[in-house]
Amino acid sequence: MTDNSHRTASRRAVMAAGAALAAAAAAPRALAQTPAPPATAPAGLAAGGGSSKIFRTTEIATGKVQGIANGPVWEFKGIPYGAPTSGRNRFMPPKPAAAWSGVRECFGFGECCPQTQADIRGEYGQLIQWDRHDIAGMGEDCLNLNVWTPTTDRGARKPVFVVFHGGGFATGSGNGIGFDGKNLAYYADAVVVTVTHRLAAYGYLDLVGAGAPSEFRYAGVTGMMDLVAALQWVRQNVESFGGDPGKVMIFGQSGGGAKTSTVLAMPGAKGLFHRAAVQSGSALRLVTPEAGAGTAEKLLKTLGIGRANWGELQRISWQRLLEAQTATGGNFSPVIGTDALPNHPFDPKAPEVSADVPVIISTTLEDAALSLTNFDLTEAGLEAILEQRAPGHGKELLGLYRRYDPGATPFLIQAQALTDAGGRRAAYIQAARKAALGAAPAYVYQWNWRTPAYDGKFGAVHGIDVSASLHSYRDAFFAGSTPGKRMADRLASTWAAFVRTGDPNNGHIPPWTPYSDQRRAVMVFDNETRQEIGPRGEIRAFWEAYPPPPGPRG
């Protein structure tokens, strides 16, 4: 069954509002007025949603690109924003994509960066379909992006979303099924861009710190420089897809949130975006040059490369590099200390370079459930885990959690505690430091709505709000259900309002005020979506008395 006619009616409601787009939050409110769909799907669904043309060609700086209609949305996939990163370009800053003659067919995704595959034995990986990133294969010609847009009219001036995929700094791509942008493009009447870039050792290997020549000085941060190059591409070309280069919102979840946190601190990205959202990925600190050098030295030792044969770094196959990376292990993440990324993103304070950019920062209630598998945990086992984490206070802490959530399984209480001790603490710190700049506001939300998928055992797990922000309620998290669609409407409408005005308020949610450390306003997305001041304050105070855990999610 399709809901295209459902959304067509929604689009008419927006258009009927006349000048509603000029009034900042009117579009999201109009989208709330969605009548029931007709009994039959719209005619022409298989032929571009009734359009007289299936294909659309538009021209960008490097040549003409041809996309294809998917209902009311035009899709352009696999557009190169940079040159291949193999050979002499490996470990180097991104170079511009070469121009082409004729029309480039952009119907399929481009390569993703070489990476290890998601283990099919992991239920969480199966839930989020993390094995679906190498749809077009992998390799070093991975600087490509995908565009979904309602129009290619250069004068349309639609707001623009740029999505940074998750997967830490090591896996994933803009091609993943969980980052499909067409539903958000339609629902929010906006342009959506997803980006693929270099990861792990291909993008974050501090070679100079390990003794390599100065020409490799950016090797520890090239993956982030790729994202800046993608934003430069958006500024130069998005008008060809009906977009407004002066109204760009970057966002990402998990690793994508960490990338968003990082881009907020990059001088080269200043002015290329105007709003940001960090979902369960609040990166306060990154890798120091000392730590980055140590990781690089270990990898070089595995490869047998040193001062006598530096040239081999750019001659070995990408397969050999991936094998060595996997065998060596280590933290292949952005390294600070160059002019591309001078400092830690949010430590000791929020970055001044993006002080004028409003930001949404979030976590989910049970973020940490992604890495847990002890679904049969008992209440006694839970108390033992809490006692181990907070010696002498296990029983007290369990009682505290049970007062807030008496019906949750021990597994989910465990996930809440690990999230509260780690990732949620980082999110609150990030928001407080952003607010302390006294410039653009920070807004904080916590996603509490639990997915019924896998018999509900994962709860409000890490990543559930990605689908909602992209208005993709057909996936396993929401299963096309009425409650799931309602939640997707709420968050996608929030995105639609925020990208236009920098204010997330819209007709789908209660009033939402900015965050400060004095008045800790948090929007709680649940069946009863509401703003709370200092939610679960006793739990937060408890964990603030303990040293932060070593990992980002506890």
Specify whether the CB–CB gap between 145 and 77 falls below 8 A. Answer: no
Angstrom CA distances, 62 to 96, 227, 231, 240, stand at 9, 18, 16, 12
The band of 20, judged by pLDDT with boundaries at 50, 70 and 90, is very low
CATH superfamily, domain at 374-545: Alpha/Beta hydrolase fold, catalytic domain (3.40.50.1820)
The band of 23, judged by pLDDT with boundaries at 50, 70 and 90, is very low
Global pTM value = 0.90
pLDDT, tens only, 299-308:
999 999 998 8
pLDDT, tens only, 396-441:
999 999 999 999 999 999 999 999 999 999 999 999 999 999 999 9
Pick from 468, 277, 432, 256: nearest CA to 346: 432
pLDDT, tens only, 149-182:
999 999 999 999 999 999 999 999 999 989 999 9
pLDDT, tens only, 191-232:
999 999 999 999 999 999 999 999 999 999 999 999 999 999
pLDDT at 133: 67
pLDDT at 84: 98
> Residue 490: is its pLDDT beyond 80?
yes
Phi-psi region of 94 (alpha: psi -120 to 50; beta: other; left: phi over 0): beta
Range with the poorest average pLDDT among 132-141, 172-181, 326-335: 132-141
What integer is the mean pLDDT of 243-250? 98
Q: How far out from the chain centre does Cα 412 lie?
A: 24
Could you write out the DSSP letters of every residue in 199-229?
-HHHH---TGGGT--GGGTTTTTHHHHHHHH
* DSSP H/E element including 360: strand 359-364
Instruction: Please report, rounded to a whole number, the percentage of residues in the chain having pLDDT higher than 90.
Output: 83
HEC secondary structure over 153-206: CCCCCEEEEEEECCCCCCCCCCCCHHHCCHHHHHHHCCEEEEECCCCHHHHCCC
Which residue ranges does the chain devote to CATH 3.40.50.1820? 55-117+124-357, 374-545
What integer is the mean pLDDT of 250-255? 97
pLDDT at 550: 63
Q: For residues 187 and 474, give the distance between their C-alpha atoms in angstroms, rounded to a whole number.
A: 14
Q: For residues 421 and 269, give the distance between their C-alpha atoms in angstroms, rounded to a whole number.
A: 32
pLDDT at 6: 36
For domain 55-117+124-357, the CATH class is: alpha beta
Instruction: Please report, rounded to a whole number, the percentage of residues in the chain having pLDDT higher than 70.
Output: 89
pLDDT at 512: 98
pLDDT, tens only, 495-543:
999 999 999 999 999 999 999 999 999 999 999 999 999 999 999 999 9
